[in-house]
Structure 1
């Protein structure tokens, strides 16, 4: 951070998660925000944005009065606000509940107002009288909401306040307490956007006694399941026992050093319905009433009877929203195998709310049919936690202590744990590493990504190798982990060094030339990024060029940007441009929110990261094709480009292009690691077309793409132009 910028920041800047409790899951990038005031007394926001190609961070300045094309333009284009506004079932349920609840003029408080949809619904329900206080803390969204309110002629009775709800004061920001609370501060887990602290402060300071509320209540449910697919996402120890490469990331006795975080993970479990065996009926867990002050913490014990025999590998959870006090209007995030009532209806695919998965530690809990287990559930202000314990009778002692998160010192996402436990992946990596080391008697190896696997494989593949691991994205305790794991795998300390940061003088840091420069490539923190952002490996390789020996081997040998035309009706529907949303014109938000479809000339939809297998209904329509290749044996010399015409193998409607990276590990092309749509533990990039195109198998293709990639750009890595 520059000294001039740091002087403008308050002494304590506020992390984004606590700064903006509302709609956190709708932002796809990790950001930090600080606020201050300019000399003209207009608000200024500093947003910390990471460059995925370098790992460096920069502060983006957002002014309250800046113009299109300035630093704040485009900050919302990769969020999931658009997906939320395209959720017609959600919008209709809120409208019906607001119209039913607000029947006369009053004071309404809207927390986390977004584009102002709920505020406008409330103002319309009251007519010319009454007042809505709309609270929205994220400045780019505030600027957009002002435009939406003006476009719909709704500025008169809506007071928009650019603050967190717990910063609002009666007598200063608002004249009196509100009679009705409307809000949508829910994530897939329910509590992650700060629902409880927001409700607590609102009831303490901003609402009248016994206020009305929309929604009225939320109820969480869960179900015990068996699934090898889900088990693989956390049970690395058992999977390692099945591989023969001789490397152990989780050696016996050191299980507490590595794992996943004890939390719920959002996931479209409908997509793995065939990989799931249900072991219990759904069970009701917690109720949270919006019309009264919630408790910060709660605990509950539930006895669950197994409906069939199996091993509990995971607990799947969801919630049901009751929007009106009478219980006639509902919204559910339940998986589709749960019978939907006529009131709730069948849930359509959407990405802003999913189900959640809690992984049962180890190999799971084995149950016989009819056997009972005790599920201990607890909630904090922001999380719901589970602990499953077998019990022989209901008289056994219950566990009421806080749920333990274990003694894990190094954590990775579940998908990465699954990859490290995949025997095919590990065998490919080991063979490629061993082949790269052949012919070198005392190889010097440098690992330049955040791989846990490759340093150990390089040590194991050659008993005379010396390995330096540079893993800037790992936690600070990674050094302790590597030291313990290297020792447990039988590698002497003099053969392995670990650093988190690049030395300022590479020649001093590596006086002996590097013979093998390797990566998976994998960088912590980019799991939700676009696949080609891992080309950071190429940038780092370029920086290390001076310390490579003349015959140094670089692995991977090259990267290949691949693609495939896709049928993606559900994803298209969730990202398409808006028109009228429950009677309110939202067309002006389309460009800002990254819509696809009817965009102005010269504007294009963003390329976004998704797990294709979790995108609802999907189908490949074309052969897989190569867009660009990147030669890692040479430093970066300039921008790259490619052009390809698609060859279709299935007739249908093409909604977009799936894009991913294939990593060619060796010069002979004998080992290729693909991250395409068939590999479910990797995210792909999705570029939706300007308009869906009907394609045929016969005749020439009418769709081609051009792509350009400039690795000197600041995260804007690729631009795709569709050609008709």
Structure 2
């Protein structure tokens, strides 16, 4: 298990050792982890600094936690590990079985085994067990290298539970920090490791293997996996096109706002990289334009190159427009080629999908967007693709496509003004229905009034431009808490093309809590608006966007007495759902390939089969990408948030009837934003809206509802849900019961 599965989320970790000088020592492929310059003995106490993020203010603070490194007290890192992919990965039975079979076929005699990124120690224990059953004169040894301290603590518990603590040596370091004599006594004969992400290289596979072959492994070592192959396929997909081509999509809008004016199409874009996506969810919307083709192959048993480039000649199997390259990888885990694992989408047939398993969230397919509106091709046409990789990423370029310039009109360099946004945000900005709703809401808000000052509370450049265009006399004050000066530079670049003067737009960089009318140019704010959209909040829970309510309260001193607030309120919606794939991926762990992992459930935030009275956390997911899912109840309202009033604790309770028989695995929760006081314009972020994540509260145990009844004959036909919102933490507590 690779340590860099910890997502870029709400927490970061820093370890400091008392009495030791501290210097920054970041894992090159995981900037969220930090370590100290020297280790302490296992009996000593480490000081753990946890950077906790407040979703309602955007601020963070260091929280000091004292822990015993080898203690058996309750692990306090649940908020961190519950949001990682460790649990999902350990529930991937296909993956676990493949590694176990390959290790049993590879480790045939006692030897020195190195496990890099050991996680819970599963692969280390597999290797130790394989050596126990092997015949040999020498004694074997397994060294488990894991840099992430919370996982080291958890691994030691797992090893102890399975009687493996004397057979696996645990080292809390990165592999490139290992020292001979103190950590290892000689080069390892075998490497068992899983440091792979959806793209294959993103967790530092190449530099890790390079260092291991240079410093830690014997020549021609045994390795599990043995090799990996990257495959790709050309596809046409309107959905994928909308995720990156804002220029051509907004051309169809009716609001005359030009987020990407003509000749300036690089100014708002996605980062040129591969994006992980559950492509099976869009299988019916994808037109395949080629057969699968092999891109790159990586041998784990020899030192990889840092960079490579190759030209591929692909025959088109159908005519259409190439919008993207969908890619996946396949592992050959043993030398003989009998054990495989694949991340291929379900539409792929052998031999390109050998070893494909059930739905899992820790590995997806990857999508590379072809710029602009793609490239038109004819059936049987030869398509020339340049594929390349560096140490951590892949890229693809169709040679038929002329690289676009990065110089804007008037000779301005695009890099000074460019806004890099997530694909889902690009799609929202290009969505005609969404833009029309915003246009209608703002037009209605301006009717009969001429605001002297309008404030944009969030990171919406769209709302800034729209208000400036619709009300020329209004001073528009943009706060841009996430994009900051990038937003100001962007507005400066596009203002002329939108027929507005930058004299009417001001970007305020001062903290909201410190604002006075002096900062608003002696004007009271008559109109405060937000989408809400906060840059960098992509993986947050829906109610974390109630940051708008918090900030509306902080801005009270600069608002006029009759200020119009938009959105006027938020409505917490919910629906009971069948989510078998998602629930199975987050369920509590038991025995994995013969090794008991039950001790990890609380730390990893298991959501299924929990002890009575214990519940799992709410997590953010795109429900439409969560494998099989089905709504079992009507959508219902839990509570409302009134933004006309200062933020305050609130709660709600609702009872709903089950509308369809099935197995209920959890509750989907989201917020619908009511943009006007008449409740006529509502922006929903529910499961049928693909560009927003929902909150998911998985049940401790699935419940049979409706006509089927449960195993004990009890039929649940309705349910009660209660929720309370705490503005001091920004968190939502959700309780439920079935009747």
- Please indicate the TM-score interval, normalised by the length of the shorter structure: over 0.9
Residues 33 and 148 in structure 2, CA contact (< 8 A), matched pair in contact too: no
Matched, 1:84 2:85: no
Query: What is the rounded CA distance, in whole Å, between the counterparts of 2:252 and 2:731 in structure 1?
Result: 41
Query: Alpha carbon RMSD of aligned pairs, Å?
Result: 2.5
Match of residue 372 from structure 1: 382
Equivalent position of 1:394 in the other structure:
none
Shift of 1:441: 2.4
| Correspondence for 1:421 | 430
Question: Superposed, which structure 2 residues align to 1:310-459 within 5 Å?
Answer: 310-341=320-351, 344-390=354-400, 407=415, 409-459=418-468
| CA contact 1:659–1:685 (8 Å) conserved in 2 | yes
Native 8 Å contact 1:224 1:315 kept in 2? yes
Deviates more, 1:225-234 or 1:76-85: 76-85
Match of 1:706 in 2: 722
* Among 623, 627, 630, the residue aligned to 1:612: 623
Give the Cα separation in 2 of the matches to 1:700 and 1:49.
40
Contact 2:716/2:738, CA 8 A, preserved across alignment: no
Would the aligned equivalents of 1:434 and 1:462 in 2 still touch at CA under 8 Å?
Answer: no
Q: Indicate the larger mover: 443-452 or 212-221.
A: 443-452
CA contact (8 A) 1:169 1:205 kept: no
Report if aligned partners of 1:259, 1:410 keep a CA contact under 8 Å in 2. yes
2:681 & 2:165 partners in 1: Cα distance?
Answer: 61
Offset at residue 341 of structure 1 (A):
4.6
Distance across 2 between alignment mates of 1:131 and 1:513:
72
**1:120 counterpart (116, 125, 146):** 125
2:496 matched residue in structure 1 = 487
Structure 1 residues 343 and 57: alpha-carbon distance in aligned structure 2, compared to 1, 3 A threshold: closer
| Deviation by residue 1:391-420 (Cα, 9 ceiling, x = unmatched) | 9xxxxxx99xxxxx9857211000010000
Distance change >3 Å, CA 555–CA 69, structure 1 → 2:
farther
**118-127 or 693-702: which moved more?**
693-702
Note if contact 2:146-2:170 (Cα within 8 Å) is conserved in structure 1. Answer: yes
The 1:527–1:381 alpha-carbon spacing in structure 2 relative to 1, beyond 3 Å, is same
Q: Does 1:582 align with 2:593?
A: yes
Aligned counterpart for 2:108 among listed residues 98, 103, 106: 103
CA apart distance, 1:181: 0.2
Task: Please state how far the C-alpha of 1:578 moved relative to its aligned partner.
Answer: 1.0
> Residue 506 of structure 2 corresponds to which residue in structure 1?
497
Task: Give the distance between the partners of 1:524 and 1:7, measured in 2 at CA.
Answer: 36
Asked if the contact 1:621–1:654 (Cα under 8 Å) also holds between the matched residues in 2, the reply is yes
String of CA shifts for 1:567-603, please: whole Å, max 9, x gaps: 1111111111111000000111111111122223342
Q: Which residue of 2 aligns with 1:538?
A: 549
CA shift digits 1:275-324 (9 cap, x unpaired)? 10001111101111111111111111101111111010011000000000
1:623 aligns with 2:629: no
The two structures have a TM-score, normalised by structure 1, of 0.92
* Structure 1, unpaired ranges of 5+: 25-29, 392-397, 400-404
Structure 1 residue 48: deviation in Å?
2.8
The worse-fitting range, judged by mean Cα deviation, of 458-467 and 469-478 is 469-478
CA separation of 1:69 and 1:542: change in aligned 2, threshold 3 A: farther
2:652 is the alignment partner of 1:645: no
Structure 1 counterpart SS, 2:574:
strand
Q: Is the 8 A contact 2:114 2:145 kept in 1?
A: yes
Give the whole-Å Cα distance in 1 for the aligned partners of 2:256 and 2:310.
44
Change (3 A) 1:11 1:140: closer
Q: For this pair of structures, how many residues does the alignment match?
A: 699
Q: Distance in 2 between matches of 1:578 and 1:228?
A: 39
CA drift at 1:550: 0.8
Cα deviation, residue 711, structure 1: 1.3
| 1:172-202 alpha-carbon deviations (Å, 9 max, x no partner) | 2111111000000000000000000110111
Between the aligned partners of 2:611 and 2:262, the Cα distance in structure 1 is 59
The alignment partner of 2:34 has SS state of strand
Please, which of 203, 209, 215 is the counterpart of residue 219 of structure 2?
209
Deviations 1:487-532 (A, max 9, x none): 2211112100113442634332122100000000011111111111
Alignment of 1:546-557 (within 5 A): 546-557=557-568
Contact 2:418 2:486 survives alignment (8 Å): yes
Contact kept in structure 1, 2:469 and 2:499, CA below 8 Å: no
Q: Please show how residues 636-715 of structure 1 align to structure 2 within 5 Å.
A: 636-637=647-648, 639-696=649-706, 701-713=717-729, 715=730
Following the alignment from structure 1 to structure 2, what is the Cα–Cα distance between the partners of residues 6 and 97? 39
The alpha-carbon distance between structure 1 residues 51 and 340, as it changes in their structure 2 partners (threshold 3 A), is: farther
CA distance in 2, matches of 1:592, 1:163: 21
Alignment partner of 1:292: what SS? Answer: coil
CA change 1:9–1:492 in 2 (3 A) is farther
Equivalent residue of 2:687, what SS?
Answer: coil
